[in-house]
A and B are shown apart, each in its own frame.
Chain A
């Protein structure tokens, strides 16, 4: 039915099977859209946010998708600026994942502000003393970069590419992609960093506050670094999931190994910096503000030392070591374990830096404030996942996303 749109030489499932799959995920999407409209029409009383949790589950999801979406800017930087040619075989997919992550982040923000029709106020009436203003600027501009990077892939659709103007446009956009990639890296550095900076400058929250360099707390640099380190892990994870669902090898091993190796070294260097930062905060910063380390990890039913160990050791050191060592990196099972742990690790870091900050008691009369999101918050947080699955399915079906797919999966000619 839609065979004219499918990339030449590529094999796809039947249209009815594809439609059923999209319909199932689409039902989840609609559930999220319903919750989104509830929040818009009835207000933020639909959530369990309160005076403690002005930043709730959404903001964790927002920071998490931005972090894992960092694979797009970092892979683009490596491909177009550092000229690592092998990565051309995965850059399209990294861009699509980044596009999904950043559009999801903007959608989450549109829900979170409660009045999406006033979203433009942050540009028009900008507070130039706020790191979040910088985040909003860079996030919007970087989403434009990702859209620009995604457009050539769309224009390479079998039918669209027959139109001469689109064919030339795709070609020309490829020609200047390095300029867009460099702009994207510049924007990503600042918005990833400023998201961390927001936590680091909260001097009223001893769990978050950090020293730093000039106006930037160390969390600024740690957030950028972690996004560049763990973003490629998520790209590799989604690639692996896509391969499992399609039952095909889509990217050659040498490309996967290279990206995994780069990610591994980035994780190792990041986690060393993170450990130094944590020790200094625990030994110097927090005590100078009248707190001991145990204050942040005891006297409550959820946040214990386990979360610190899980983030730094299990989901930081372990994936870093597994990806740096050639023998474990080239073992598919151990590599999969590493990229799953890495993805969980960066999400856990964002959870700690958004939600645990809000939960820790600050005043002597405070108690731990544990929070559970409402179903509307959960539905709107799952919404981007469903949207991402649908966009990846549609892109994979109709666009030449993986340049090595045909070579790795030759279609045998039909003999009658």
Chain B
């Protein structure tokens, strides 16, 4: 799973599998981090104009 795991090999299989996996996980993590930080910011500033 990580390059420091003993069975890790720097080959195309690991690059595609884990590249895709970490790419997707990173997008989800970054998206959620943005939402949480912005929600905290909005709460502190309490703009009160958020409607959905």
Contacts and interface: CB of A to CB of B under 8 A. Distances in A.
A125 B1 CA distance: 7
Interface of A: 123-126, 128-129, 133-134, 137-138, 141, 144-145, 148, 164-176, 179-180, 183, 186-187, 190
A62 B51 CA distance: 39
Interface string B7-41: 10000011011101100110110011011101110
Contacts of A165: 39-40, 43
Given A128-B17, A170-B52, 8 more contacts: A134-B17, A137-B17, A141-B28, A166-B39, A168-B50, A171-B50, A173-B35, A180-B31
B38 A179 contact: no
B7 A125 contact: yes
A145 B31 CA distance: 11
B52 A176 contact: no
A133 B16 CA distance: 12
Contact of B34 (A126, A144, A176, A183): A176
Kindly list the 5 A-B residue pairs having the minimum CB-CB distance in the complex, ordered from nearest: A128-B13, A169-B39, A168-B39, A168-B42, A171-B50
B35 A176 contact: yes
A202 B30 CA distance: 38
6 contacts: A126-B18, A167-B50, A168-B42, A171-B42, A174-B52, A180-B28
* Band of interface residues on B: 20 to 34
Contact of A183 (B7, B13, B28, B51): B28
A187 B24 contact: yes
Most buried by A among B13, B16, B35: B35
B36 to A, nearest CB: 7
B21 A137 contact: yes
A173 to B, nearest CB: 5
Contacts of B46: 164
A131 to B, nearest CB: 11
Nearest to A141: B24
Q: Which of B27, B28, B38 has its CB near the most chain A CB atoms (within 10 A)? A: B28
Nearest to A164: B43
Contact of B35 (A126, A134, A169): A169
Contacts of B50: 167-168, 171
B31 A179 contact: yes
A176 B36 contact: no
B5 A148 contact: no
Given A126-B1, A128-B13, A128-B14, A172 B24 contact: no
